[in-house]
Structures are given as C-alpha cells and as structure tokens.
C-alpha cells in the first residue's frame, strides 16, 4: 500500500508525532482545506469513543515465574533446597535399622580403628560360635550407627557452609552456587561410596565367618 | 530501567528476566485480551489472554539472545504476542458475522440516540464496532490507542512499513466511525454519558 502522503501527515498530526516542520505543513494544509480539518475532527471523535468506552481488562499476576523473583528469594530458594537435601540425607542415614543401637561417643573417622575392629572380629573366630556372631552383629550395628551420625553431622556442616555461601552470593554468581551444589553432591557421594566399601568389607568378613563356622544367619 | 534488565536478561540473568516479565506481562495480557474481546461473551477472552501472554514470555525467554538492540524490546515483545494471537486465531474456527447482527444487537441493547447510555452500553457497542473492522486495522488501532506504541514500533511489531501502519490506522478509525454512525451513535452520546 502506498498511502497518500497527506494521509500520513494527518495521522501524524492527529497523534502529535510530527516534527515542527511537518506540524507546520499539516497546519497549513488544514487551514487551506476545511474538509481535511473536518476529517481530522471526526477522527478525534472516534478516538474519544475508543477512550471513553474502553474498560481496561483487569491485569493478572504473571502465571509462571521461571525462577524466584529476586536474588533474596533466590537465596532462600536455594537454602530451602539445601534444607530439603539435609532432611533427605538425615532420613536416609538415620532411619531405624534392625538391632541398631545409638552410640554415645562421637565417631572418629579413622580407618585404623575399623581395621582393628575387623582384625578383632576375625580373631573372634576362636570364640564360641553364637557369642562371636552376636558380638560381630552388635559391633556392626554400632559401626553403622556411628557412621550415620557422622554422615548426618557432615551433611549438616556442608549444608551450613553451603547456606552461608549462598547468602553471600549475588544473583550474578549462579555458576558459583551451582558449583557449590555440585561439590556438595560429590562430597555426599564420596562419603557414601567410602561407607559402602567399609560395610562391604565388614559384611564380607561376617559372611565369611558365618560360612566357615556353619552359623545359620 | 528496562535497558538494564534487558541487558542482564540477555546475559542469562533469570531474575532480570523476571523483573521484565513483572513489568510487561500486565500490558501484554491486556493487549491480548482486547485483541480477543469478541470472545468475551463466551467468557473465553481471559483464559485465551492468559495463555497467549504466557506463551509470549516463554518465547521471549527463549529468543532474547537473538534480540539485536535493547531499544527494540517493546516492539519485539508485541510482535511475539501478535504472532501468538494469530496462531491462536488460526487454531479456532472462523468467526462469521451475520449481516443483521449489528442492527439486532443495537435494538436489543435498547439505546437509541435519545436513550441513556451507561458505560457498559458504550463498551459493548465499541467492542462490537471493533469486531466489525478488518483485523489488520483493528490491530493497529489497539496498538496505538491502548498500548501507545509509536508508529515506528507498530511497524516493527507488525513488520510492515511505517506508512502502512499509518494508513491502516486511518482507515481503521474511519471504519469505526462509519460503524458507529450506522448505529446512529454520535459524539453527543459520549458527552451525554460522561
């Protein structure tokens, strides 16, 4: 469409979007042509209809927020996620195990003690069979309880550290937050793998002990 | 402020994009709702507007990296919304208009030139009048009168020359006036009502 240049000028005049020179030209045009002035006046009335009869629709809140609205909320969101992880970890680690007894003393995470215990358990082969097996199971339960407590403490420490880190972060540092979470997850995974190896060793010893002594589990 | 948010959002700052969405969603929603005003009688305009507005911002989020200049954000956002409006319309059945619908409704609403018009009356008549003008003219009228876009922005949003935007607006206003005059509605009704 190639509109009449006067038409574009009139519309620009109607909406006040003309340069001073164009405005002057439009005004002169309207002065010279009353029919054009009447046309502009009619368009003004129509515009008035559009404004007077309109009822602006009520706005609605944005239905989807892709992320929390502010960095503050974002930090709280991450902190909530960390707490959730902590609770989940706690539930996994501290859930009741058969015959488990809580150990009062804090766990010392040195493998030397574990090795000594395993050595003692193996040496217990010379003891009466039921007593040796019971002792082995009891010790295993103690070990499990201590490890759960230690893991919960570790998770708590990591979560506190992560929360502190998150509170220091600004919105621009999302990568750092993600990296912190990745480290947190890796540490948890490492701890779980180490414990799995320990338990596997102890259980292997127990099974070997029971097999060699024909002890019915 | 928009410039700052846009720049940060383009760099992947989701919080900045949220700020943009908080600022622009109400306007996009209102535009789309006006665009679909003819579905108001069926109560469908609100849900349609909410859905199209949501799609608009999802598309904007996905495409913000391709925005070439911050200053064009407003027309770019409206262009996305308009495209989604068109897609929604294509998805729906055509909206045929009976020849005598206008006369019938004007009589049904009970207001002649001598009658008293409430604001609701005026609104219904205006919506019906807008419905009767060509869609491409209606788009420009809505963008100019209610969204206050410049002609350049309208041209960018609709991807048409600026002169065409002005032309469509002129003929759209003229067509509206003819519809209203056909119903014997004059400016005096407005002055009487207000």
Chain A positions in Cβ-Cβ contact with residue B29 (cut-off 8 Å): 57, 59-60
Q: Cβ of B190 and A65 within 8 Å?
A: no
Measured between CA atoms, the residue of chain B closest to residue A74 is: B15
- Give the pLDDT of residue B4: 84
CB B28 within 8 A of CB B56: yes
B115-164 confidence digits (pLDDT tens) = 566 777 788 888 888 989 999 999 999 999 999 999 999 999 999 999 99
What are the distances in angstroms from CA B57 to CA A214, B27, B77, B84, B126?
Answer: 70, 12, 8, 11, 29
- The DSSP call for residue B69 is -
3 state DSSP class of A101: coil
B61 and chain A in contact, CB less than 8 A:
yes
CA neighbor of A102 nearest in space, from A115, A93, A110, A111: A93
CA distance A43 to chain B (A): 6
Contact at 8 Å (CB) between B36 and B45?
A: yes
Is B11 within 8 Å of A175 (Cβ atoms)?
no
Q: What pLDDT shows up at residue A42?
A: 92
- Please give the pLDDT value at position A138: 65
Instruction: Decide if the complex's ipTM is over 0.90.
Output: no
B19 neighbors A171 (Cβ within 8 angstroms): no
Q: How far off is chain B from A14, nearest CA to CA, in Å?
A: 10
B123 to A59: CB separation less than 8 angstroms, yes or no: no
Cα distances (angstroms) measured from residue B150 to each of A11, A19, B23, B133, B156: 12, 14, 19, 21, 10
Query: How many angstroms separate the CA of residue A100 from the nearest CA in chain B?
Result: 47
pLDDT of residue A68: 47
Q: What pLDDT, on a 0 to 100 scale, did the predictor assign at position B106? A: 52
The reported pLDDT for the residue numbered B9 is 86
Burial (CB count <10 Å: 0-12, 13-18, 19+), residue A213: middle
Per-residue pLDDT of chain B (194 residues; tens, 9 = 90+): 678 888 888 888 888 888 888 889 999 999 999 999 888 878 888 899 999 999 999 999 889 888 888 888 999 999 999 999 999 988 886 665 544 454 545 544 544 445 566 777 788 888 888 989 999 999 999 999 999 999 999 999 999 999 999 999 999 999 999 988 888 777 666 665 54
Spans of chain A, pLDDT less than 50: 1-3, 68-71, 73, 98-104, 107, 125-129, 171-172, 215-217
3-state secondary structure A18-83: CCHHHHHHHHHHHHHCHHHHHHHHHHHHHHHHHHHCCCCCCCCCCCCCCCCCCHHHHHHHHHHHHH
Helix axes A34-52, B135-145, angle to 10 degrees: 80
pLDDT for res A27: 93
């Amino acid at each position: 469409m190639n509109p009449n240049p006067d038409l574009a000028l009139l519309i620009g005049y109607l909406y006040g979007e003309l340069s001073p020179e164009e405005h002057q030209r439009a005004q002169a045009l309207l002065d010279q042509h009353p029919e054009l002035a009447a046309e502009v006046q009619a368009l003004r009335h129509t515009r008035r209809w559009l404004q007077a009869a309109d009822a602006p629709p009520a706005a609605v809140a944005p239905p989807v927020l892709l992320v929390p609205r502010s960095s503050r909320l974002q930090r709280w969101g991450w902190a909530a996620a960390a707490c959730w992880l902590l609770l989940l970890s706690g539930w996994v680690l501290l859930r009741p195990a058969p015959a488990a007894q809580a150990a009062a003393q804090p766990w010392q995470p040195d493998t030397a003690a574990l090795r000594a215990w395993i050595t003692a358990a193996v040496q217990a082969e010379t003891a009466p069979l039921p007593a040796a097996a019971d002792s082995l199971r009891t010790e295993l339960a103690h070990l499990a309880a201590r490890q759960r407590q230690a893991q919960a403490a570790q998770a708590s420490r990591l979560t506190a550290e992560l929360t502190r880190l998150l509170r220091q972060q600004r919105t621009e540092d999302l990568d750092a937050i993600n990296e912190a979470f990745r480290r947190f997850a890796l540490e948890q995974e490492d701890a779980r793998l180490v414990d799995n190896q320990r338990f596997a060793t102890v259980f292997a010893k127990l099974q070997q002990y029971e097999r060699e002594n024909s002890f019915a589990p | 402020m928009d410039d700052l948010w846009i720049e940060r959002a383009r760099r992947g700052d989701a919080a900045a994009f949220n700020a943009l969405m908080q600022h622009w969603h109400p306007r996009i929603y209102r535009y789309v709702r006006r665009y679909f005003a003819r579905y108001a009688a069926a109560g469908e305009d609100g849900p349609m507007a909410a859905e199209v507005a949501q799609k608009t911002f999802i598309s904007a989020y996905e495409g913000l990296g391709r925005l070439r200049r911050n200053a064009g954000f407003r027309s770019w956002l409206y262009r996305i919304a308009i495209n989604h409006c068109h897609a929604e319309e294509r998805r729906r059945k055509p909206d045929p208009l009976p020849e005598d619908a206008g006369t019938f409704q004007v009589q049904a609403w009970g207001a002649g030139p001598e009658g008293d018009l409430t604001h609701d009356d005026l609104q219904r008549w205006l919506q019906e009048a807008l419905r009767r003008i060509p869609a491409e003219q209606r788009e420009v009228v809505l963008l100019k009168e209610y969204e206050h876009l410049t002609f350049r922005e309208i041209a960018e949003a609709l991807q048409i020359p600026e002169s065409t935007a002005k032309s469509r607006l002129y003929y759209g206003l003229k067509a509206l006036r003819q519809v209203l005059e056909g119903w014997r509605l004059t400016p005096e009704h407005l002055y009487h009502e207000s």
